[in-house]
Amino acid sequence: MIRLGIVLLIVQTVTTIHAFEPSPSDLGNVPTWTAEQVRLWAADHASGANALDAESRAIACSIDRKKEDQCQQAALMQRVLADLAIHDRNRAAAEGLTVYYRIVSLQQQLETLYEAEDTLDALIQLAEKAAELEIAEGNANDLQQQRLKIRSQKIDAEYGIQKLQIRLARLTCQPLSVAKQAVLIDPIETEVSTLDEEAAVADGLQRRADLRAIHTLCRCINNDTAPAARTMLGAIQPGLGLAATVATKSSLLSGLCDQGQDACARRDQCRQLAAQQQGTIEDEIRMAWLELQASLQRDRLSQERVELANQAAQQANRAVEIEQRPAGTDLQASLEALRVQGERQARQLEQTLADVKLLEARGAAFPL
């Protein structure tokens, strides 16, 4: 029998799932944020999870604690709500990491664009002043077009960072002015999950709090808890437990209906929902795992392209130094190397975000 002490214990557990409030480190007067800080901030301030925790506390205040059936129903609802809150914190933590790494990547790309623009400026000056460069007529105009394209990309990156900072401030509940000033000190993550596909699926099925909520519900449905089970089924899967919508709050908790058949029906519904959700989770994990493998292979190819482009730039630089090739050839090769480097940065971001997506699918973005 589930008694009041257990109900109160569950309430306390729900409200202290993650009582951690990280503080930004200071580099002088500038706040510095790590990916871990942002992940925990986002999880702690997940609005959906906090609303579920508040609902759980409200349930404890709305029951007659002298009635055993109401205590059982409240305890069941609180356990399910706690798992649903954890699931939402996992989602929020993954989003926090995603926004963090997107900003870091855009900042890296912006640095590359500035360097490319400087190289283009030098090329344009050479093209305009030195006829001996052997640049065909019209090439100077082509270089101007490239510079305009780079400037457009810089605008996209700069405003993209600002838009992401707005989302970062909202996710972490930090002032926007602080989020704009914060230095994100963690680079793009290059070490990703090494779990094989089946291990990732097994890990996810064990971790996922939304699936655990359904299993908890299935185990605890009986004649006394059937009214609460109806409500929780509707919370997990909209459209289920519709009978609860015509019941008043008092009748829901007092069980003023024939519970035998209803409890059996709810158990069947719950088992079907558990099987459906397990299949959905398995598919999510497998898809995320495959995307991570694809991104790893794309990144390896992009790394090879960077190495080849850098070799070509070094060869062009040596050839210009010994006057085997016209001046400016080295700058053109350097510009191409920077372009390939920018593509590599995009591939690295894809890899990192794929790893975050796999973390979220496994329920591991918010470890307890």
DSSP string across 186-244: -----------HHHHHHHHHHH-HHHHHHHHHHHH-STTTHHHHHHHHHHHSBTB-GGG
Bridge partners, 183 (sequence order): 32
Task: Determine contact, residues 46/89, Cβ cutoff 8 Å.
Answer: yes
How far apart (Å, rounded) are the C-alpha atoms in residues 257 and 223?
Answer: 10
Please count the other Cβ atoms lying within 10 Å of the Cβ belonging to residue 18: 17
Task: Determine contact, residues 155/114, Cβ cutoff 8 Å.
Answer: no
Please give the structure tokens belonging to residue 299: 């990144």
* Residue 241 identity (one-letter amino acid): G
Strand 25-27 with 30-33, pairing: antiparallel
Coil, strand, or helix at residue 103? helix
As a whole number of Å, the CA-based R_g of the chain is 28
Work out whether the CA dihedral 222, 223, 224, 226 comes out positive or negative.
Answer: positive
Task: Determine contact, residues 86/49, Cβ cutoff 8 Å.
Answer: yes
Say what angle helices 209-220 and 226-236 make with each other, to 10 degrees: 160
Task: Encode the chain (368 residues) as per-residue pLDDT tens digits.
Answer: 344 344 444 444 444 444 444 454 445 588 999 999 999 999 999 999 999 999 999 998 888 788 888 899 999 999 999 999 999 999 999 999 999 999 999 999 999 999 999 999 998 888 877 655 454 444 677 888 999 999 999 999 999 999 999 999 999 999 999 999 999 999 998 888 899 999 999 999 999 999 999 999 999 998 888 888 888 998 888 877 665 444 444 444 444 445 577 788 888 999 999 999 999 999 999 999 999 999 999 999 999 999 999 999 999 999 988 888 877 889 999 999 999 999 999 999 999 999 999 999 999 999 77
Domains and CATH numbers, the chain: 4-12+31-186+194-237+249-362 (1.20.1600.10)
How far apart (Å, rounded) are the C-alpha atoms in residues 272 and 368?
Answer: 28
